[in-house]
Amino acid sequence: MEIRYRGELAIRSRGLSLAAKEWGSPDSRPVIALHGWLDNAATFDRMLPSMSDLHVVALDAAGHGLSDFRSDDASYDIWLDVADVIAVADHMGWDRFTLLGHSRGAIVAVLVAGSFPDRVSHLAMIDGHVPIPATEHNAARQIAKAIRDHRRFGNASPSFFSSFERAVHARSNGFLALQLDAAEILAQRGVRQSERGFYWHNDQRLKGTSSIKFTREQLQSFLAAVSAPTLLIQAQQSIFTRDDKEAELFASIIGLQIVDMAGGHHLHLESQHARVAQEISRFLSQHE
């Protein structure tokens, strides 16, 4: 049965309302889909209609899309998203579920799968990368930078644009550049209008550094704890480069399948969306 969009969800997690797009039949395989940094749940709009027999909750992470921002005293340390994912699964009544993650969402998915291996049945990552490991001697400077960033971005306003189209072009040509039509899909969900103009509705604090980062040993422990069958689709023209150290960390996931695919960092939202959907469908059927 092909996947069709069902509507919007609002899910409570520790005082926040998290928005999500629901796809597919409740009788199908449960999937939680996690987008990348400063993106939103619409990142999966092109690939999901090419798939079948899935019940997908594509989440707007806190501070993104239609979801609430975290409170003034909170941070956006990535492990907070782990609790949000579990809250979504509990809300849906899913004891076990598949995780699909792109970029930052792939990192969150790994942390969830490593922390709760009994609950994650399958893990699929799209151009996921291991965070740069921290070193013990840098901890004090890391805390100081996080505090400075929290003050800086907590008081920052988003960039405003004179038109919706200019906001789309800015995203298309930004740090994580993507094709214009792909940027417009994200903008339909992520851009709002005020008296000052059009702006991307993301919490500016997302641009700050984490207060604490994982060491190489800690990252390896998360990856080694993943017991679910795991797929990693690597974009050959990604802005992020891979090295032997990252490959060694990913090798901690037993039985990891890696597929190299032509395309940029957002290949699942650009011209390769059908092939990405096909590879993930093949992977899931292979591990029924």
Of the candidates 103, 121, 210, 238, the residue annotated as catalytic is 103
Compute the distance between CA of residue 11 and CA of residue 109 in angstroms, rounded to an integer.
Answer: 18
13 is catalytic: no
Establish if 152 belongs to a structural domain: no
Mean pLDDT on 131-150: 86
pLDDT surpassing 70 at residue 1 = no
pLDDT band at residue 167, thresholds of 50, 70 and 90? very high
User: What's the domain count of the chain?
Assistant: 1
Q: For 5-37, how does the pLDDT look when each residue is reduced to its tens digit (9 = 90+)?
A: 999 999 999 899 999 999 999 999 999 999 999
Q: How many CA atoms lie within 13 A of 253 on its CB side?
A: 27
Q: What is the pLDDT of residue 86?
A: 98
Is pTM beyond 0.75 here?
Answer: yes
In a domain, 274, yes or no: yes
Residue at 209 is within a domain:
no
190 domain residue, yes or no: no
CATH number assigned to the domain comprising residue 54 = 3.40.50.1820
Residue 186 lies in a domain: no
Mean pLDDT value across residues 78-94: 96
Parent domain of 92: 5-133+214-286
Residue 110 pLDDT: 97
Predicted confidence band of residue 252 (pLDDT cuts 50, 70, 90)? very high
DSSP the chain: -B--EEEEEEEEETTEEEEEEEES-TTSEEEEEE--TT--GGGGTTTGGG-BSEEEEEE--TTSTTSPPPPTT----THHHHHHHHHHHHHHT-SSEEEEEETHHHHHHHHHHHH-TTTEEEEEEES--PPPPB-GGGHHHHHHHHHHHHHHHHTPPPP-BSSHHHHHHHHHTSTT---HHHHHHHHHHHEEEETTEEEE---GGGGSPPSS--BHHHHHHHHHH--S-EEEEEETT-SS---HHHHHHHTTSTT-EEEEESS-TTTTTTTTHHHHHHHHHHHHHHT-
